[in-house]
Amino acid sequence: MRRVPAAVLALALLLTGCTTSGPSADGHRTSPTPTAAAGGPTKVQPLRKALPAIERFVERERGLRFKHPVKVALLSRRAFLKKLDGSQGQPKPAEVEQLTSTLAALGLISPRLDVVKAFKKAYDAGTLGFYDFKDKRLYVRGTRATPGVRAVLSHELTHALDDQWFGLLRPKLRKDNQEKELAFTALSEGDAERTRLDYEATMTKADKKVAEREEGDQSKPPHVPQTVLILIAFPYIVGPNFVKALVAHNGNAAIDAAFRTPPVDSEQLIDVRAYFSHDEPKPVATPRADGVRVDHSDLGFIGLLLALERHVGQDLARQAVAGWGGDQYATWRAGDHRWCLRDTVVTDYAAASQTLDNALRKWVANSNGRARLESTGARTTFVSCSS
């Protein structure tokens, strides 16, 4: 579970048009935890006593039973960060350049940014707990079952429960399509956040204040670009609203079905009608690279939105991506710390193509020669390069 800085939350909600999660859409109410007091703070219990009540809450919330116990470790800040860093592994240089080339070519980060350091700083500052998919253990930053720790446990135990029933480690999603992995992550985090929010709703006001204080202020970590924070926060912002729509459709059964047949792109997350109607991205051939190709994938609805918002403003960007139907891009190195990207986009209807083309023309006009529009109409292709 990760904190979402308030500034990032506000910006991302504007980008996606989503609203923050409220009570579950089906109007369900969960039972209060047995340790809850009428209005004052709850006495902090040892983990072994607090954990069973949280597990029962998670089971009721999801309508599933744990198949086997989940091992939980409460760690000091130093021990937690060491475990977190070890679980993430070290990315390969080629993977680092792939991410850098895409974000820098779109003008979303400086081409000289150390993206590994930026993401690590954001993760270290914002991560309060995590469920390790490999060793099936749950790790939480904290040494006692305080209100904040209990809230984190409700989130992470939901991951553990979902993993036992549906399997959350799906490496094929990364190999197949960048947006599929993002969409599945948003589903998983949305389900866990739904549980946490409902769990916190059973807390006393005093416990809620303690939990908020433990989670820390939601200020932006220093020297971390806004784009990095938005990319990390996206599943936590959009996921709960997507899950809320699933619950309104058919309760927990709809969530279970989504884990079996997950959303495939960010458009389905933002507009759940696209998910229920099986509106999937249209196939698009990968465009050529004007050099040795560094990366190729799809920007997706949210990637194109972020790029356009950076260059043409929020209103025009949202209009331009409204008819997004699919895309594919390729990046290549164009010099020392300089990368370019060529993206081909198709839309769902003709009028959407014109709106997208108009937005791209404005981007090109403001780019000081770093962007160009190569084709318009049924398939729009543009090129953008880093500074």
Three-state DSSP string of 251-267:
HHHHHHHHHHCCCCCHH
| Same domain membership, residue 299 and residue 258 | no
Predicted local confidence at residue 197, as pLDDT: 94
Q: Encoding tokens for residue 140?
A: 């939480």
Question: Which amino acid is located at 73 in the chain?
Answer: A
Does residue 374 lie in a domain region?
Answer: yes
Question: How far is Cα 264 from Cα 179, in angstroms, rounded to an integer?
Answer: 6
3-state SS of 301-362 is: HHHHHHHHHHHHCHHHHHHHHCCEEEEEEEEEEEECCEEEEEEEEEECCHHHHHHHHHHHHH
Question: Dihedrals φ, ψ of 31, to 5°?
Answer: -75, 145
Q: Encoding tokens for residue 295?
A: 């990366």
> Which residue numbers in the chain have pLDDT < 50?
4-38
| Same domain membership, residue 266 and residue 366 | no
DSSP state of 43: P
| Same domain membership, residue 299 and residue 259 | no
Q: How far is CA 370 from CA 104, 106, 113, 134, 167, in A?
A: 12, 10, 19, 43, 44
Does residue 347 lie in a domain region?
Answer: yes
Residue with tokens 């579950």: 24
Question: How far is Cα 141 from Cα 287, in angstroms, rounded to an integer?
Answer: 45
Does residue 284 lie in a domain region?
Answer: no
User: How many structural domains compose the chain?
Assistant: 2
Does residue 120 lie in a domain region?
Answer: yes
DSSP 199-250: HHHTS-HHHHHHHHHHH---PPPTT--HHHHHHHHHHHHHHHHHHHHHHHHH
Question: How far is Cα 201 from Cα 218, in angstroms, rounded to an integer?
Answer: 20
| Same domain membership, residue 163 and residue 24 | yes
Q: Which residues contact 42 (CB under 8 A, 6 or more apart)?
A: 35, 36, 147, 203, 204, 206, 207
b/e map of 58-92 (b: 16 or more CB within 10 Å)? beebbebebeeebebebbeeeebbebbeeeeeeee
Q: Which residues contact 82 (CB under 8 A, 6 or more apart)?
A: none
Q: Encoding tokens for residue 119?
A: 């993401």
| Same domain membership, residue 268 and residue 298 | no
Q: Which residues contact 253 (CB under 8 A, 6 or more apart)?
A: 63
| Same domain membership, residue 20 and residue 135 | yes
* Boundaries of domain holding 259: 6-272
| Same domain membership, residue 363 and residue 320 | yes
Residues making up the chain, counted from first to last: 387
| Same domain membership, residue 204 and residue 327 | no
| Same domain membership, residue 237 and residue 174 | yes
Is the pTM higher than 0.85? The answer reads: yes
| Same domain membership, residue 315 and residue 235 | no
Predicted local confidence at residue 4, as pLDDT: 47
Does residue 342 lie in a domain region?
Answer: yes
- pLDDT tens figures, 335-378: 999 999 999 999 999 999 999 999 999 999 999 999 999 999 88
| Same domain membership, residue 147 and residue 50 | yes
| Same domain membership, residue 307 and residue 230 | no
Does residue 154 lie in a domain region?
Answer: yes
Does residue 286 lie in a domain region?
Answer: no
Residue with tokens 């549906």: 166
CB 273 within 8 A of CB 221: no
- pLDDT tens figures, 134-189: 999 999 988 889 999 999 999 999 999 999 999 999 988 887 667 899 999 999 99
